Amino acid sequence: MNRVRSGLLAVASFAALAGCTTPSSKEIPIRSLSALDLAPGERLQVAASTTIVAEVLAHVGGEDIVLTTTLPLGADPHEFEPTPREIERLSRTDALFVSGLGYETVLQRTVAEAGLAPRTLALSEGLTPGMDPAADPHVWLDPRNVMSWVDNAAMALSALDPDHADDYAERALAYRGRLQELDGRLEDLAAQLPSENRKIVADHEALGHLAARYDFELVGSLIPGPSSAAEPSARILAELQSTMQAEEIRVVFLTSLENRSLAERVAADSGARLVQLYVESLSEPGGPADSYIKLMEYNLAAIVEALNSP
């Protein structure tokens, strides 16, 4: 697969291309990759769909890649559509890394409609949404899954750029160790909660993998489904509020900024308070969740504190 270097032409021809063809933006199996013909000193041009995907690639790729992030901080991948400039940047990349499992459907559809078919690789390759968090693509909320991301990132980068394979492997091993330590700390933190205080209600179904890993009970969500762009029915909201009252649940966890107005209405009706988590994106630099490790530590601490409060 040759490099695509005609970014400006691709964007200028958007309408014509979209009208005559819709290239596939489906993920390519990582094990099928072969080495690119890089000039001496040339680095891989790598794009990441989200800030969390970019975080993993930065740790594994280090100085051997040129990394860009498609979705800005705070963007919700369920609804975000890239601008023509962002599409143009993708047209010049050697690989677009996504989380996968259908999480970036809007991004991938928009790119395909622009007439582009970037080499798209899913870090979640080999993972499944799981039985408990059915159809939940937010797999990174279990650090063990991000360890798999690290392995896949190292495998993909090494296949594309074998001259730096040892460097990718070394960085991957180091970051994997940090993630294992994180998982242990989060287990200890979650263990502070008694079993009767482990019931969670969220704005949408995004906490399945976190709940399965650290033994929380998902009681329900305001939006039934893993996409924050869905619309709940009045009946579903009424049933959830009745459940919250019966279970004496007084907290709703916000996982997307897009759902705040809906959550505020439910909170006003039920007497619950809202607790914001970081799920779809890292925070701004210097914020409480400006790295994946800090994001997970912040979320678990916020959940434990909220569920421990009277």
Q: For residues 266 and 268, give the distance between their C-alpha atoms in angstroms, rounded to a whole number.
A: 5
pLDDT at 3 over 50: no
Token pair, residue 108, equals: 């991938």
**Residues 18-66 pLDDT 10s:** 333 333 358 999 999 999 999 999 999 999 999 999 999 999 999 999 9
Mean pLDDT over 285-310 rounds to: 95
Burial letters for 80-113: b for 16+ Cβ neighbours within 10 Å, e otherwise?
A: bebeeebbbbbbbbbbbbbbbbebbebbbebbbb
**Which stretch of 80-84, 150-154, 269-273 has the lowest confidence by average pLDDT?**
80-84
CATH number of 7-184: 3.40.50.1980
pLDDT-derived band at 197 (thresholds 50, 70, 90) equals very high
Residue 228 has pLDDT above 70, yes or no: no
Instruction: Give the mean model confidence (pLDDT) for residues 196-225.
Output: 92
pLDDT given at position 19: 32
**Confidence (pLDDT) at 230:** 63
Reading the block at residue 287, the tokens are 């914020």
123-133 mean pLDDT: 77
What is the percent of the chain where pLDDT is above 70?
Answer: 87
* More confident call, 161 vs 136: 161
Average pLDDT of the chain is 86
Q: For residue 30, which of 120, 112, 102 has the smallest C-alpha distance?
A: 120
Q: Region 299-308: what's the mean pLDDT? A: 96
Residues 302, 310: Cα–Cα separation, whole Å: 14
What order of strands is seen across the sheet that includes strand 273-276? 217-223, 199-204, 251-254, 273-276
Q: Which fold has domain 190-308?
A: Rossmann fold (3.40.50)
Report how far apart, in Å, the C-alpha atoms of 250 and of each of 245, 268, 270 are: 8, 11, 8
* pLDDT cut 90: percent of the chain above it: 61
Per-residue pLDDT band at 72 (split at 50, 70, 90): confident
How far is 98 from 94, CA to CA, in rounded Å?
Answer: 13
User: Percentages helix, strand, coil for the chain, rounded to the nearest 5?
Assistant: 50, 10, 40
Q: Which residues pair with 180 in a beta bridge?
A: none
Segment 221-230 shows an average pLDDT of 72
Same fold, 7-184 and 190-308: yes
What is the pTM assigned to this prediction? 0.88
| pLDDT > 60? residue 13 | no
Q: Where are the domains of the chain?
A: 7-184, 190-308
